[in-house]
A and B are shown apart, each in its own frame.
Chain A
Amino acid sequence: MWTYEKKLQFPVNIQTPDPAFAKIVITQIGGPDGELSASMRYLNQRYAMPYDQIKAMLTDIGTEELAHLEMVSAIVYQLTRNLSMEEIEKEGFSAYYVDHTTGIWPQAASGAAFTSAYFQSKGDPITDLMEDMAAEQKARTTYDNLIRAAKDPNVIEPLVFLREREIVHFQRFGEALAYVQTHLNPNNYYRYNPAFD
């Protein structure tokens, strides 16, 4: 089970609103390579994972992704705090505003709604871990793109932290994949599903 802790994993303290940037950074909440999809990917994959240390890894990284979801939500919240109607219109925030005011709703930068089609849980440890490594790289690329577009150091700092976490998770999943492959039945040349066959 889970327990909530009333703190962010890394501080987010943005003083200057920027609805235009909020519109693109929101993709790390509900976009294809966002934190919600990351968390759901790992927490759902745990059940088919036969190895204890990788069950722990999927649990802990899936949990950390929820903390990242909260950080990105804090970023969007602070970027859209105390906006005037004029700023909303000038910065192109009207389309989001009309549906959600300044509430947080998981969507991609394009406006597409969050969907579980953004991640896979295939019931095959090798397939799943390959997906997880790719997912971490895709999220890292997204943070690269966001950091390039950001100007406020108070926005950049937490994004740099989140980018770094993608790299660390990629590293850990790489180790998990190596572990699975060295524990395969030696006759399983073609890497068939070690959790089912």
Chain B
Amino acid sequence: MNKMLHQLQSYDFALQEAALFLNSHPNDQQALAYYNEMQACSQELTRQYENQYGPLTNKTNSGSEWDYIHGKWPWEGED
């Protein structure tokens, strides 16, 4: 089980949940503050995760190799 991945899934889920709420409550400052906090957490952890395990999207491959195709695909389950 990959703890970093699970933490990232939690941040991104929180971000999604906040976004849905903000769509119908765009002036809610408390929700917006929560969204901003989760966004910062998600961005930082995405950076760390991709450095360690490779790109999560085909737009974030970095370095001199095409790593995007390597590693398990999400539907195959975790190691």
Cα distance, A56 to B56, chains bound together (Å): 12
Cα distance, A47 to B77, chains bound together (Å): 12
- Total B residues in contact with A, Cβ cutoff 8 Å: 7
Q: Which residue of A lies closest to B68 (CB)?
A: A56
| Shortest Cβ gap from B19 to chain A (Å) | 10
Chain A, interface SS category: helix
A53 to B74, Cβ gap below 8 A?
no
Chain B residues with CB under 8 Å of A53's CB are 69
Cα distance, A60 to B74, chains bound together (Å): 14
Cα distance, A60 to B58, chains bound together (Å): 8
B75 to A56, Cβ gap below 8 A?
no
* A1 in complex: contacting residue of B69, B73, B74, CB < 8 Å: B74
Q: Mark B65-79, 1 if CB is under 8 A from A, else 0.
A: 000111001110000
B69 to A47, Cβ gap below 8 A?
no
A52 to B58, Cβ gap below 8 A?
no
B70 to A52, Cβ gap below 8 A?
yes
* B58 in complex: contacting residue of A1, A47, A55, A56, CB < 8 Å: A56
- Total A residues in contact with B, Cβ cutoff 8 Å: 9
Q: Mark A49-74, 1 if CB is under 8 A from B, else 0.
A: 00011011001100000000000000
Q: Mark A119-148, 1 if CB is under 8 A from B, else 0.
A: 000000000000000000000000000000
| Shortest Cβ gap from B76 to chain A (Å) | 9
A52 to B69, Cβ gap below 8 A?
yes
Cα distance, A46 to B73, chains bound together (Å): 10
Most buried by A among B73, B74, B75: B73
* A47 in complex: contacting residue of B68, B70, B75, CB < 8 Å: B75
Chain A residues with CB under 8 Å of B68's CB are 56
Q: Mark B25-66, 1 if CB is under 8 A from A, else 0.
A: 000000000000000000000000000000000100000000
Chain A residues with CB under 8 Å of B69's CB are 52-53, 55-56
| Shortest Cβ gap from B15 to chain A (Å) | 10
| Shortest Cβ gap from B52 to chain A (Å) | 19
B74 to A55, Cβ gap below 8 A?
no
| Shortest Cβ gap from B72 to chain A (Å) | 9
Q: Which residue of B lies closest to A52 (CB)?
A: B69
Chain B residues with CB under 8 Å of A1's CB are 74
Selected A-B contacts with CB under 8 Å, 15 pairs: A1-B74, A46-B73, A46-B75, A47-B75, A52-B69, A52-B70, A52-B73, A53-B69, A55-B69, A55-B73, A56-B58, A56-B68, A56-B69, A59-B73, A60-B58
Top 3 nearest A-B pairs by Cβ distance?
A56-B69, A52-B69, A53-B69
